[in-house]
């Protein structure tokens, strides 16, 4: 994610309620300039209702606001995986609820990774042998989406650089004799 300094506070098997439980230890003390949030998929897989998952996220936002004020939160949408594709309708409900909240809060931003991970309505081949955890190709999609959200001019700058490099110079080099 260079040039952005990143502190990875993610942990395997996380549920939003666990992030809330450990908020004072894993989030607040770092006084981040921004929070990139990804959790909720394991919650749905564990049988929690959409309402419960969204309520847990609302609690996270309350804790964030109390401790860190207007620090922006970038919510990465729950991803469509091959293993859990039967849960995709519930994941979509969570995503829709968070997207709606982002439309009403200046400190919450929704990052859509669903659209670029689907092809003809099914997950692309972006997963390892377990059909849940992503390959490098999947993480490239995420990196691009997160960078575009955090650094809005990144894509335009990259295109500009590619165009500059790709186009031959109109000026012919002079020879030194």
What are 87-118's pLDDT values in tens digits?
999 999 999 999 999 999 999 999 999 999 99
pLDDT of residue 176 exceeding 70: no
Under 8 Å between Cβ of 165 and 171: no
- At residue 169, does pLDDT exceed 80? no
What pLDDT shows up at residue 8? 78
Give CA–CA dist 153/106, Å, rounded: 19
Residue 135 has pLDDT above 80, yes or no: yes
Q: What pTM does this model have?
A: 0.83
Per-residue pLDDT tens digits for 2-60:
777 788 787 788 999 999 999 999 999 999 999 999 999 999 999 999 999 999 999 99
Q: Is 109 helix (H, G, I), strand (E, B) or coil?
A: strand
Residue 165 — φ and ψ, nearest 5°? -75, -40
- Listed range (110-114, 134-138, 150-154) with the worst mean pLDDT: 150-154
Collapse the DSSP code of 84 into the 3-class scheme (helix H, G, I; strand E, B; otherwise coil) and give the result: coil
Question: What backbone torsions phi and psi does residue 143 show, to the nearest 5 degrees?
Answer: -60, -45
Q: Which domains does the chain have, with CATH numbers?
A: 16-153 (3.40.50.1110)
pLDDT band, residue 156 (cuts 50/70/90) = very low
Determine the pLDDT at residue 4: 76
Asked if residue 79 has pLDDT above 80, the reply is: yes
Measured in degrees and rounded to the nearest 5, phi and psi for residue 117 equal -95, -5
Look up residue 168 and give its DSSP letter.
Answer: P
Using CA atoms, how far apart are residues 175 and 177, in angstroms rounded to an integer? Answer: 6
Token pair belonging to 89: 């309708």
Residues 6+ apart with CB under 8 A from 40: 16, 53, 57, 78, 91, 94
């Amino acid at each position: 994610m260079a040039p952005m300094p990143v502190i990875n506070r993610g942990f395997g098997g996380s549920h939003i309620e666990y992030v809330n439980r450990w908020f004072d230890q894993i989030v607040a003390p770092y006084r981040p300039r921004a929070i990139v949030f990804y959790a909720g998929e394991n919650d749905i897989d564990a049988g929690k209702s959409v309402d419960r998952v969204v309520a847990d996220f609302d609690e996270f936002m309350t804790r964030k606001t109390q401790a860190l004020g207007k620090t922006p939160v970038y919510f990465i949408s729950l991803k469509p995986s091959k293993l859990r594709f039967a849960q995709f309708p519930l994941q979509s409900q969570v995503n829709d609820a968070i997207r709606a909240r982002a439309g009403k809060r200046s400190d919450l931003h929704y990052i859509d990774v669903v659209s670029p991970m689907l092809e003809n309505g099914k997950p692309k081949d972006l997963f390892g042998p377990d059909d849940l955890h992503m390959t490098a190709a999947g993480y490239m999609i995420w990196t691009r989406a997160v960078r575009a959200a955090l650094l809005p001019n990144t894509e335009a700058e990259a295109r500009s650089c590619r165009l500059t490099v790709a186009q031959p110079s109109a000026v012919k080099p002079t020879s030194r004799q």
